[in-house]
Amino acid sequence: DADVTQTPRNRITKTGKRIMLECSQTKGHDRMYWYRQDPGLGLRLIYYSFDVKDINKGEISDGYSVSRQAQAKFSLSLESAIPNQTALYFCATSEANGLGAGELFFGEGSRLTVL
């Protein structure tokens, strides 16, 4: 089984619908992240969490919200989806360390299409 699991892997929805993408991990890492990938733009950080009580905005958080339900679970919500949120979304985890940002471990991605 994958260490970082994302559900659903693929989702097609309509404008205005609420969507939740879920991420669970078995790596025992404290830090979890949500990234968005668009062709030609690389990966951009949406939100990140360093523990259950810690939530931080990334560079493109508008239109998104997150919930850290447990150390192992971090979900991303689109309250009212719009077409330009069509993208590939990745969850990632990393260990806490005193050096700053370390190696990220990625899930396989959730492809979201908003019509």
Partner 1 sequence: AQSVTQPDIHITVSEGASLELRCNYSYGATPYLFWYVQSPGQGLQLLLKYFSGDTLVQGIKGFEAEFKRSQSSFNLRKPSVHWSDAAEYFCAVGASGYSTLTFGKGTMLLVSP
CB 112, CB 87: distance < 8 Å: yes
| Nearer CB in complex with partner 1: 40/84 | 40
| Nearer CB in complex with partner 1: 15/56 | 56
| Nearer CB in complex with partner 1: 5/79 | 5
In the numeric block, which tokens belong to residue 81? 């989806």
Residue ranges that bind partner 1, judged by CB under 8 A: 4, 33, 35, 40-45, 48, 50, 56, 58, 90, 92, 99-109
Smallest gap, in angstroms, from Cβ of residue 68 to partner 1? 15
